[in-house]
């Protein structure tokens, strides 16, 4: 893929509040930032920032209308 400088893998565990089930998922990603501009901590912070936006936009809808 042109312009991609790093690939990363993030493993995370989450608890489903309705069932108390714990699931572990692995997310893979690509970034155009090189290792000199974004080390592991910076990539993780960027990923968490993206998830914060996703959760803020979709969580209300998913929980209110029981879509997930």
What confidence tens digit (pLDDT) does each residue in 9-37 have?
989 898 988 899 999 999 898 888 888 88
Give the angle 24-56-62 at the CA atoms, nearest 5°. 70
Q: Please, which pLDDT band fits residue 53 given cuts at 50, 70 and 90? A: low
Give DSSP secondary structure letters for 52-67.
HHHHHHHHHHHHHHT-
Domains of the chain by residue range:
6-65
28: which residues sit within 8 A by CB, 6+ positions away? 7, 8, 9, 10
pTM of the model: 0.54
């Amino acid at each position: 893929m042109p312009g991609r400088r790093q690939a990363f893998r993030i493993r995370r565990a989450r608890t489903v509040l309705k069932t108390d089930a714990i699931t572990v998922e692995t997310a893979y990603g690509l970034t155009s930032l090189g290792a000199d501009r974004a080390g592991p901590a910076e990539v993780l912070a960027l990923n968490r920032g993206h998830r914060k936006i996703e959760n803020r936009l979709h969580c209300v809808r998913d929980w209110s209308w029981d879509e997930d």
